[in-house]
């Protein structure tokens, strides 16, 4: 069965880059990789997604390994507002596999 | 204007009761979802509907029954509530089913079964 694996938690200093890893070794060729984050007491919100190539948007960058078995979410300059649980997801029309999430702690 | 709304926000009830949670989206999306988030923060898809048709139906007890009266609404009815049903339930929607589609989540319904 497809699944994603993430570290339980990570710490980073404010205004430094953060690299959040995700392993998805059972990914299929048509599965997209999505990242969402969840702030306390809120619903998850979309961060970024990709299929094969690296992606950038205003929130983050997504680096996808050449074999697609892992990916890394990159926050270029973490702020206190980025403290959240970050989820890595495999997505296809009839598939939605969520990882357990990484709790990102930002130290001022 | 809230894109995806859920009612109620909090629900406290006794074991054995039947309750419903409502979800509405005003984004014009074709696909809607129900998720359950337990106390350990695991998010698990329960159901997805596309154009009112059930697409994803994960292994959940038969006591949970989704109903989609139209594309903008997906309600969740739970019969004979049990202690283990206590969780936060999130509704979400997306433009379509494809893997590229982004999901938009509601604020969640916090269910506590006593």
In tens digits, what is the pLDDT along chain A, a chain of 108 residues? Answer: 668 999 999 999 999 999 999 999 999 988 999 999 999 999 999 999 999 999 999 999 999 999 999 999 999 999 999 999 999 999 988 888 888 999 999 999
pLDDT at B1: 63
Rounded Cα distance between A100 and A96, Å, is 13
Give the closest-approach CA distance of A34 to chain B in angstroms: 8
Task: Tell me the residue ranges of DSSP E strands in chain B.
Answer: 4-7, 10-13, 19-25, 31-37, 43-50, 53-57, 64-70, 73-78, 87-94, 103-105, 109-113
Report yes or no: B59 at the A interface, CB cutoff 8 Å: no
Reported as a single tens digit per residue, the pLDDT across B59-110 is: 889 999 999 999 999 999 999 999 999 999 999 999 998 888 999 999 999 9
Contacts of A30 in chain B (CB under 8 A): 99
Task: Tell me the residue ranges of DSSP E strands in chain A.
Answer: 9-13, 18-23, 32-38, 45-50, 55-56, 61-64, 70-75, 84-92, 95-98, 102-107
Give the closest-approach CA distance of B73 to chain A in angstroms: 18
Rounded Cα distance between B78 and B96, Å, is 26
pLDDT at B68: 93
Please provide residue B83's backbone torsions phi and psi, each rounded to the nearest 5 degrees: -55, -40
In chain A, the residue whose alpha carbon lies closest to the alpha carbon of B95 is A93
CB A36 within 8 A of CB A89: yes
Contacts of A96 in chain B (CB under 8 A): 33, 45, 48, 56
pLDDT at B40: 82
pLDDT at A99: 86
DSSP-derived pairing of the beta strands B10-13 and A32-38: unpaired
Structure tokens at B18: 């039947």
């Amino acid at each position: 069965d497809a699944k994603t694996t993430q570290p339980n938690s990570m710490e980073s200093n404010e205004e430094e880059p953060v690299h959040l890893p995700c392993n998805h070794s059972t990914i299929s060729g048509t599965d997209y990789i999505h990242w969402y984050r969840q702030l306390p007491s809120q619903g998850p919100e979309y961060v970024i997604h990709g299929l094969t190539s690296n992606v950038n948007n205003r929130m983050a960058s997504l680096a996808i390994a050449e074999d697609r078995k892992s990916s890394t979410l990159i926050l270029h300059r973490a702020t206190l507002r980025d403290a959240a649980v970050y989820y890595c997801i495999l997505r296809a029309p009839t598939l939605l596999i969520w990882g357990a999430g990484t709790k990102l702690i930002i130290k001022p | 204007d809230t894109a995806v709304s859920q009612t109620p926000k909090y629900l406290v009830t006794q074991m054995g009761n039947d309750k419903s949670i409502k979800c509405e989206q005003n984004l014009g999306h074709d696909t809607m979802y129900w998720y359950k988030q337990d106390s350990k923060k695991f998010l698990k898809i329960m159901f997805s509907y596309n154009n009112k048709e059930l697409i994803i139906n994960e292994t959940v007890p038969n006591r949970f029954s989704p109903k989609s009266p139209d594309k903008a609404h997906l309600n969740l009815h739970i019969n004979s509530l049990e202690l283990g049903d206590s969780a936060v339930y999130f509704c979400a929607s997306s433009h379509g089913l494809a893997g590229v589609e982004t999901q938009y989540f509601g604020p969640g319904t916090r269910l506590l079964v006593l």
